[in-house]
Amino acid sequence: MLTHLLADSSATFWLPEQASNFAPEHDWAFYFIYWLSVVAFVVGGAVSIGFAIRFRRKSPDQRTSPIRDHLPLELTWTIIPTIIFVFLFVIGFRTFIKQTTPPANAMEIRVAGYKWFWEFRYPNGESATRDLYVPVDTPVRLLMSSEASSKDDNAVIHSFFVPAFRIKRDVLPYHYTVMWFEATKVGSYHIFCAEYCGTGHSKMIGTIHVVPQDEFEEKIKPAGWDQDKETLAEFGKRTFGEAGCTACHTTDGKPLVGPTLKGLYEKSVDLESGQTVTADENYLRESIMDPQAKIVKGFPPSMPTYAGRLNDEQIDGLIDYIKSLD
């Protein structure tokens, strides 16, 4: 944490580094209010203590001062704070309006909050979870909503938060919310869910990667198996992380939101329906593409479908990876 702060000059004790167009004015408003509070606390405190000592009642029958009112003093302590508070409203409201009105030429990225991961869809139709790539110095409009994984599931309220960009907005079911930014600095920054949304809330994290404009197209190309560098199972392991599976499934035998995948292949699985199936390739594939078809006994029907999100190669990879987890 400390090394992180020292490494970047725009980070301060209270705020992370500045990486978007909104950061400078946000931080200016924050520190204006901060120092105003410090001055008010110190001056107010000092005056209170000073007066308590200076005007301490000397005997039980001592009278209080006969002053009833003092017009110039009352006008001063009314007018000065009014000017300060109206000024605070103006700088806050100006930034709020700016943040809620994206420029017309902004690139649109669709953000969907699921239980419990973020999914991003780019203008070229490609989608990804956890890792969001954006080009530097380009306005990006986020069209956000919370999605249910299936018709038996309820969507919940999330909140999309990028501290380094100073942007945060609720992500709601049955309703779109919009937010925008222009990243000003190449680098990787945290994404958080800032609304306590349930069991997997703390796992609802991600990274926003700001890349040079000429690298952006390259970064959002469809994911593929690099046969020279990795086995199909290794590609599956990579897909397992990239597709957000780790939010609900472990590979070490401990159940999470969903059952563990360790030793799953060819095991017989008890279903909610009372039936038993063998976890062969067809069962694994169906559970990825149509998760509600066979619900494992004791687990909620909360997994979203990956049909249309993963290509055949990625599904083959995942199945090979699961087979390797003995």
DSSP assignment of 1-51: -HHHHHH-TT--SSS----BTTHHHHHHHHHHHHHHHHHHHHHHHHHHHHH
Examine residue 169 and tell whether it contacts ligand CUA (CB under 6 A).
Answer: no
Cβ 198 to ligand CUA, closest distance in Å?
Answer: 7
Question: Taking CB under 6 A as the criterion, which residues in 116-145 touch ligand CUA?
Answer: 116
Which residues between 12 and 71 bind ligand CUA (CB under 6 A)? none
Cα 193 from chain centroid? 4
Binding mask 95-114 for ligand CUA (x = CB under 6 A): ------------------x-
Among 26, 130, 141, 158, binds ligand CUA (CB under 6 A): 158
Using the rule CB under 6 A, is 197 a contact of ligand CUA?
yes
Nearest CB to ligand CUA, comparing residues 199 and 305: 199
Which of 269, 278, 282 is CA-nearest to residue 316? 282
Contact 104, 178 (CB under 8 A): no
Smallest distance, Å, CB 204 to ligand CUA?
4
C-alpha 28, offset from chain centre: 23
201 binds ligand CUA (CB under 6 A): yes
Could you give the CA distance from residue 81 to residue 86 in angstroms, rounded to a whole number? Answer: 8
Number of chain positions touching ligand CUA (CB under 6 A)? 9
| Strand arrangement, sheet containing 117-121 | 127-129, 117-121, 107-114, 139-146, 177-182
Q: Cβ distance 19 to 210 under 8 Å?
A: yes
- Between 116 and 283, name the residue whose CB sits nearer to ligand CUA: 116
Binding segment for ligand CUA (CB under 6 A), chosen from 99-107, 121-129, 190-198, 221-229, is: 190-198
Q: Whole-number minimum distance, CB 172 to ligand CUA, in Å?
A: 11
Element housing 189 (H / E):
strand 187-193
- Where does this chain bind ligand CUA (CB under 6 A)? 113, 116, 158, 193, 195-197, 201, 204
